[in-house]
Every structure is written in C-alpha cells, then in structure tokens.
Amino acid sequence: MLAKVRTEDIIKQFNLELISGEEGIHKPITTSDISRPGLELSGFFNYYPAERVQVLGRSENSFIEQMTDNDRKDRMELLCNATTPGIVITRGLDVPPELIEASERHSVPVMRTTMKSTRFSSRLTNFLESRLAPTTAVHGVLVDIYGIGVLITGQSGVGKSETALALIKRGHQLVADDCVEIRQEDEDVLVGTAPELLEQLLEIRGLGIINVMTLFGAGAVRPSKKITLTINLELWDQNKHYDRLGLDEEKMKIIDTEITRLTVPVRPGRNLAVIIEVAAMNFRLKQLGVNAAEQFTERLNQVIREGDND
C-alpha cells in the first residue's frame, strides 16, 4: 500500500527548512500523533514513540544545552531512530551539531520552522489527521443543497448526473460527479471530494462532459462537503412498498459512519431535482425537531380517539 504522507509532504506543506538527513525525506508518516521527547532527552527511551514526528521546542533545546557532551551525543543518536520520519525544531532555534551528525548517519530529516511549538504541533496534527483519515470511493454524485451535503446514489443510467444538473440550475453546488472520494475525518464526520481528474466536471449522456464552473460560474461548485444525507435513486418497482409517510428511517454505513438514507423511485413525470431539494430541506427540519410525518400521525391518532369517544 502506498504511503499517504511522507516527510517531504510536510516540508512542502509548512515550508520547513531542511537542515540535515535529506536522504530520509521519503519516509512514510503513519500516525497523526506528535511527540515532544522530554522523557527521552532525560535518558528514558523505554517507550520512545519513534514512528511519530518529533518536535523540539524551547524547553527541549534548553535541556539539550545543559547536557554533558557525551550525554548529548548519546541522546541525539537514540533520538534518530531508523523509523523516525523527522525531527522539527521550532521557533527558528539553533540545531545542536550532535543532532545534525546523528541525523545524517541515520537518514532522519531534521527540519526547522519559525512557528511556536504549540501552534506548529496543532497545525501538523490537523494536516496529518486529514491526510491519514480512512478513505473510500463511492459511485454517485455529491451536491450541496442549502448547506446539506447530499450524496445521490443509484445504478448507472438512472439519472444521477441529470438530476445534479437540474439542482445546479436551481442554484445548488456540485462537489463531485460519478466518483465521490470520501474520508472519515472524525467520528461520524464524512467529507466528500472529487478526484482531481474529475473536479468541476459533469457527464451528461447525449451531451458528454461539461465544465460546471465554466457554464454556471464559480458559485456552482465547491471543493468538498460534509456528507449528511444519502438519496438512492432506483427505477420504480410497482411490486415494492415505498414509504409514503416518512416514518421509516433507513441508514447507510460508509466506513465507520452511519448516515440517513432515503430511497426515491424514478419514473417519467417525477421532478427528481425538486423532490431531492425538498428532501434536503425536510431533513434539516427534522434535525431542528420538526417532523411532519410524526405530526400527521399524531393528528390521525387524535381523530381516531375522538371518533372512539363519540
């Protein structure tokens, strides 16, 4: 499996100054956890998390300066583990010569930034969590409808892209067509994007591929969107029972997250764009505590109770 992030990626992302250990910049980074090796600098390497990016700030550097020459050399040697993806010096501080020597021997990149340790660690963690998040790809169309990320799925040829085009004409935004790349950025948070090759493009049978931004403007597209609702389009089956009240709530599991799924039957004469638009608005109302189906059921029960009393 190809590495999602390598040390060279964080050098580019944060414009880090590469001090030494250039041979190791292709090392993979496998965890978003960051380490500030205070215990290790004191000599305790029993539980050294060597697979993490190591960050040395003002406190660590001050401690290193107070070490004896032998201790400093030994600790820097142990710090540069073969699996360590890199060591970052913050605040633009001077890099101990012993660290440079050890990093060259073991091909561990030593980098420097002018940012403070806390700020850099926070930004690096966010970057790594995003890039290392579990990912998958789903055949479908992702559209932003009134702030609701709606993933439209269904068999090939059912009309997903045509429906998306109608929604764009109604002022909504396209995120991805045909293939939606999804990553789980946090617990119960799925974010969808388009593959780089397909960004801003929509395939319409009979017309071919169209560029949505060129035709409808920059406001008709967006690069990514949190997925909140899935709508599955399927050809109308007269023998199948479809939910007519909206009381049933189906779920669809993507990676480790379950999201609400609605099934909308397709047949001539149905305006799918309007139906999906209303579904998104109704979903938002449900989130706010307004459930029309439950209100109707309650009214019906009330009428039945009044009839029984008569």
Whether 298 shows a pLDDT value over 60: the answer reads yes
Task: Check pLDDT > 50 for residue 138.
Answer: yes
Binding site listing for Mg(2+): 161, 203
| Options 116, 139, 169, 251, the catalytic residue | 139
94 DSSP 8-state letter: P
Phi, psi at 158, each rounded to 5°: -80, -20
Tens digits of residue pLDDT in 59-82: 999 999 999 999 999 999 999 999
In the annotated binding site for ATP, the residues are 154-161
Mean pLDDT of 231-256: 78
pLDDT tens digit sequence for 284-294: 888 887 766 66
**Looking at the predicted structure, is the pLDDT value of residue 269 above 60?**
yes
Instruction: Report CA Rg, the chain.
Output: 27
Q: What is the pTM of this model?
A: 0.71
Q: Residue 206 — pLDDT band, cuts 50, 70, 90? A: confident
**Catalytic: 177?**
no
Give percent above pLDDT 90 in the chain.
Answer: 68
Catalytic member of 71, 73, 178, 286: 178
Please work out, in degrees rounded to the nearest 5, the angle formed at the alpha carbon of residue 252 by the alpha carbons of 180 and 262.
90
pLDDT at 1 over 60: no
Catalytic residue flag (residue 139): yes
**Residues annotated in a binding site:** 154-161, 203
* Known catalytic membership, residue 26: no
Q: Which residues pair with 106 in a beta bridge?
A: none
- Residue 160 falls in the annotated catalytic set: yes
| Two tokens, residue 190 | 């799925």
In the chain, which ranges are continuous DSSP H helix? 7-13, 38-41, 58-65, 69-79, 97-106, 117-132, 160-169, 212-216, 272-287, 292-309
- Residue pair 165/205 in contact (Cβ under 8 Å)? The answer is no
Compute the mean pLDDT over every residue in the chain, rounded to the nearest whole number. Answer: 89
Exactly one of 12, 240, 241, 244 is catalytic; name it.
244
Taking residues 183-212, report their average pLDDT: 90
Structural domains in the chain plus CATH codes: 7-132 (3.40.1390.20), 135-297 (3.40.50.300)
Catalytic: which of 27, 75, 160, 183? 160
Give me the pLDDT at residue 310, please: 58
pLDDT computed for residue 3 by the predictor: 63
Given a cut of 90, whether residue 111 has pLDDT beyond it is yes
More confident residue, 246 or 114: 114
Contact 174, 217 (CB under 8 A): no
pLDDT score, position 2: 54
Write b or e for each residue in 197-234: b if 16 or more Cβ atoms lie within 10 A of its Cβ, otherwise e: ebbbbbbeeeeeebebeeebeeebbbebbebbbbbbbe
